Amino acid sequence: MPGPQASAHQVLVYSGPGVSPLSLSHTVLTLSLLLLPHYTVQPVTPEVLSSQPWEPSCALLVVPGGRDLPFVEELTTKRKVTKRIKEYVEEGGRYFGICAGAYFGTSQVKFDVGGPMEVIGDRDLAFFPGTSEGPTFAGFQYASESGSRAVSLFLEPSSSSSTSTHRSLDHIYYNGGGHFILPSPTPFNVQVLARYADVKDEPVAVVLTQNGKGKTVLCSLHPEYPLNDPPARLAINKLEHSPEIEEIEASDKARMKWVEELLLLLGLSPPGRLDNEGSPIKGHTEDVDGAEDPKLLLHPTHPSPIFVLSHPNLPELSAGSISRKELQGKLIRQEEWAILKDGNDQINFGTIESTGGSASTSEDDVTRWLAQKRRDQPKFEIPEIGDLQISSGESSPPIPQPPDFHSIPKTVLLPSPNAPYTPRWTPLFNFATYWSELDIARKGAGKRSGVMRKGEDGDKCALGDLIIYGETVTSTQTMLDRNPILLTNLTAPSAFLASFQLSGRGRGSNIWLSPPGCLQFSLLLDLPASLSSKMVFIQYIMALAVCEAVDEDGRLGVRIKWPNDIYAEVEGVGGTEMGSGKKGKAKLGGILVNTNFVGGKWRIVVGCGINVLNALPTTSLSQLHSLLAAKLSSTSSSRPLPAPPTMEGTFAKIMSSFDSKWEQFIEEKGFKGFMNEYHGRWLHSGQEVTLTTTEPHTPLRILSITPDHGLLRCIPIQSKSTAGSATGLTPLYNRTVDSSAEDRYTPSSMSGNNSGSAANKTEFVDLQPDGNSFDLMSGLIKRKV
């Protein structure tokens, strides 16, 4: 097999079975920050590695953390890819193995010898001609943070470092990694780069190897995780002496600088060298003013510019998304920008060229402009402390309030053929990857992708083809739902996606938190007037679409909690332990639906937030994937592990799934065709609950949802003391069936024999979703406040 060409520019990050989704995500992000625009950084599947000629264009192959045995199964036993990787390196390629990827790159693995997780075996890559033995620190458990810790390293001097002295690196995340046993004498092709500082005899933690014409770096811990966020921050919190925030920030800058040094040792050429403080050195590709601040990417402080993007086959969608005359007539022209003052926000529309004020705006110009926008802090008028008074007189200044991000004008960038989209502009969500994943999802569903569809009101795109994306927004739901001009005139169907929300909305007055790794979006849809009585089912359709998209075969344990939450029901969450035989329950996401009758039609805004890559202690799809991997490792199951979740792939699958279900809902004019599927996905069949809105409280058993209005159908549980007496239900529930969707109490016959006595009839209690709160953990249903 050939090695890399001199022009090789692709950094491929393995994303197949065995990889930790969280490690994968942070590896891609960290390498992107350090290597763009000189290199592209993208996930690669085992299918591509086995069937495509990836070697000539690959500058670096990365195998992130996760589990070593699935790597062996997928790349050595099943697909014979290991031989190609080894030949690629020997012909001049580079390999970067992180934790499990480092184990995989040695000649032999010895893991938990004599313990319940024991793994002993040879490895075909054998870049390091010795053994990797671990875990170096006790306490490791799969799919757990019990053995994680923040460790210090002693760094050996290297040619890429600005100093020839030994240095230390602190607070780096560790969880299950090993150490390298050096053969004696030390092989000529092995260079020790770092040793564990917290262990007797300072075992080797990181090595550089020369293999033929190529090089590898094998790193037993996790330099890809930012120290300000879980899981690294949680590991730091375990230290006996908790470091100050300034110390952690200094360690995080040193971490990024060290990763850049590792890349230089491998022979790559990052575009901007970092100085000893972790800041860019002047004179390189990106000057200081245009340099990216990695911390601001994961800890945004204010809303960012918003992009309007469309499927590559349908460029006219994004260009024409705000072209309606009614909207254009509301715009105020001001130089390069068109300004809309709507109900909740001022929105400044402009093309990509508007960022630089000329048609010659380059990709680099826009990248620097976006980086500057992340750093530019909005100014709020806050009274001086000395001016505040305790008295409540009219002369007293107002008490300072939290920043009103809704008052900040929002910037929306429309596409231009002169400056095509590049993933450099959206480092937290790669739209090139998303469009590819969307095409794959639609192909799997038997649908064409990137084409317009004929409808009653003319041609329309499919859901997922038109995306509005903001790295950081106030709330996707609020920006659509509370700006009536935009709501009425924006092209539908469309989706508004954000990586972070500063004031996300949940059900009622709840706030939806937005940690790194959470996927949050709102869909803008048109609903035929004939289905206005079926709106309650929209949240059920979205819940079904999410379950199908993220857990097709149900093995991850993703379920629906009535009426609008997504939960995990599996061992290892909600305080339960793996192997205990007891499944716990933990929230993964939620759904919010707002309906608006504008311009003579119903416009629906469906909001959804789902935890995809969040680190513990929140429960995410990434964690569920790790739990399933650990479970499969202890069984003889031959079923392959699902691919690890990514932000782009998860969103693409949800768009494809919901689009199909929405079409079916419209065509069938209701939810009856989904009933079996819904009941198969929810948590509640046969569950016993207590209705607290009655006196005395009424014990109920859940049966189903009703196909007419989507009510929660229950039956009272008769105790000996109440059998043969009154139902105990207040008059609120003692009403006959009508066409409303209110809570109701109904005596009815399950068998259809309406002539029998009351004793032969089943008493139903039907509860409507929007007025009741379901406390799943305590089994209580109470009035929503």
pLDDT of residue 578: 82
DSSP code at position 187: P
pLDDT at 196 over 80: yes
Report the pLDDT averaged over residues 302-329: 93
**Beta strand 518-527 with 494-501: parallel, antiparallel or unpaired?**
antiparallel
Q: How many helices (H) and strands (E) does the chain have?
A: 18, 36
Type of residue numbered 180: F
pLDDT at 227 over 90: yes
**CA atoms of 549 and 541, how far apart (whole Å):** 12
pLDDT of residue 661: 97
Q: How many residues would you count in the chain?
A: 785
E-assigned strand segments in 69-203: 94-98, 106-111, 119-122, 128-134, 149-155, 167-174, 179-181, 190-196
- pLDDT tier, 752 (very low <50, low <70, confident <90, very high otherwise): very low
**More confident: 40 or 746:** 40
Report the pLDDT averaged over residues 643-672: 96
Element (H, E) at 526: strand 518-527
Q: Which of 243, 211, 236 is nearest to 222 (CA)?
A: 236
**CA atoms of 534 and 376, how far apart (whole Å):** 46
pLDDT of residue 727: 41
**More confident: 389 or 655:** 655
pLDDT at 462 over 60: yes
Q: Which of 1-5, 127-131, 316-320 has the lowest mean pLDDT?
A: 1-5
- pLDDT tier, 198 (very low <50, low <70, confident <90, very high otherwise): confident
pLDDT at 782 over 90: no
pLDDT of residue 142: 82
Percentage of the chain surpassing pLDDT 90? 63
pLDDT at 162 over 60: no
Asked if 709 and 768 touch (Cβ cutoff 8 Å), the reply is yes
**More confident: 156 or 720:** 156
**Beta strand 346-351 with 337-341: parallel, antiparallel or unpaired?**
antiparallel
Tell me the pLDDT tens digit for each residue of 483-522.
Answer: 999 999 999 999 999 999 987 555 554 544 577 899 999 9
**More confident: 250 or 730:** 250
pLDDT at 774 over 80: no
Tell me the pLDDT tens digit for each residue of 348-357.
Answer: 999 999 998 7
Of the chain, the end-to-end C-alpha distance in Å amounts to 66
pTM attached to this predicted model: 0.87
pLDDT, the chain, mean: 86
Tokens representing 230? Answer: 């879980």
Residue 775 pairs in a beta bridge with 780
pLDDT at 380 over 70: no
Type of residue numbered 664: Q
pLDDT at 552 over 80: yes
- pLDDT tier, 386 (very low <50, low <70, confident <90, very high otherwise): low
- pLDDT tier, 755 (very low <50, low <70, confident <90, very high otherwise): very low
**CA atoms of 71 and 92, how far apart (whole Å):** 23
Element (H, E) at 662: helix 647-668
Asked if 248 and 236 touch (Cβ cutoff 8 Å), the reply is yes
pLDDT at 453 over 80: yes
Q: According to DSSP H, which parts of 223-291 are helical?
A: 232-237, 245-265
pLDDT at 762 over 50: yes
Phi-psi region of 517 (alpha: psi -120 to 50; beta: other; left: phi over 0): left
Tokens representing 498? Answer: 């954000």
Asked if 18 and 70 touch (Cβ cutoff 8 Å), the reply is yes
- pLDDT tier, 745 (very low <50, low <70, confident <90, very high otherwise): low
pLDDT of residue 195: 97
Report the pLDDT averaged over residues 610-635: 88
pLDDT at 293 over 50: yes
**More confident: 272 or 333:** 333
Side-chain half-sphere exposure of 766, counting CA atoms within 13 A: 21
Q: Which of 506, 307, 510, 343 is nearest to 416 (CA)?
A: 307
Q: Is the dihedral of CA 423, 428, 434, 436 positive or negative?
A: positive
Q: According to DSSP H, which parts of 305-357 are helical?
A: 315-319, 325-328
Type of residue numbered 505: R
- pLDDT tier, 160 (very low <50, low <70, confident <90, very high otherwise): low
Type of residue numbered 178: G
- pLDDT tier, 82 (very low <50, low <70, confident <90, very high otherwise): very high
Tokens representing 160? Answer: 């890429």
Report the pLDDT averaged over residues 328-343: 93
pLDDT of residue 599: 73
**More confident: 166 or 271:** 271
pLDDT at 728 over 60: no
Q: What are the b/e assignments for 390-424, b being 16+ CB within 10 Å?
A: eeeeeeeeeeeeebebbebebbbbbbbeebebbbb
- pLDDT tier, 290 (very low <50, low <70, confident <90, very high otherwise): low
pLDDT of residue 513: 53
Q: Which of 154-158, 338-342, 423-427, 715-719 has the lowest mean pLDDT?
A: 715-719
> Cα 212 to chain center, whole Å?
39
Name the one residue in this structure whose structure tokens are 């002169």.
418
pLDDT at 224 over 80: yes
pLDDT at 32 over 60: yes
Q: Which of 657, 703, 711 is nearest to 679 (CA)?
A: 703
pLDDT at 115 over 50: yes
**CA atoms of 640 and 634, how far apart (whole Å):** 14
How large is the greatest C-alpha to C-alpha distance in the chain, in angstroms? 95
Taking each helix axis as running N to C, give the angle between helix 245-265 and helix 21-35, from 0 to 180 degrees, rounded to the nearest 10: 70
Q: Which of 548, 553, 544 is nearest to 640 (CA)?
A: 553
**More confident: 47 or 726:** 47
Report the pLDDT averaged over residues 256-279: 80
Residue 208 pairs in a beta bridge with 191, 217
pLDDT at 281 over 60: no
Tell me the pLDDT tens digit for each residue of 671-721.
Answer: 999 999 999 999 998 889 888 888 888 898 999 999 888 999 998 887 644
Report the pLDDT averaged over residues 749-756: 39
Percentage of the chain surpassing pLDDT 70? 85
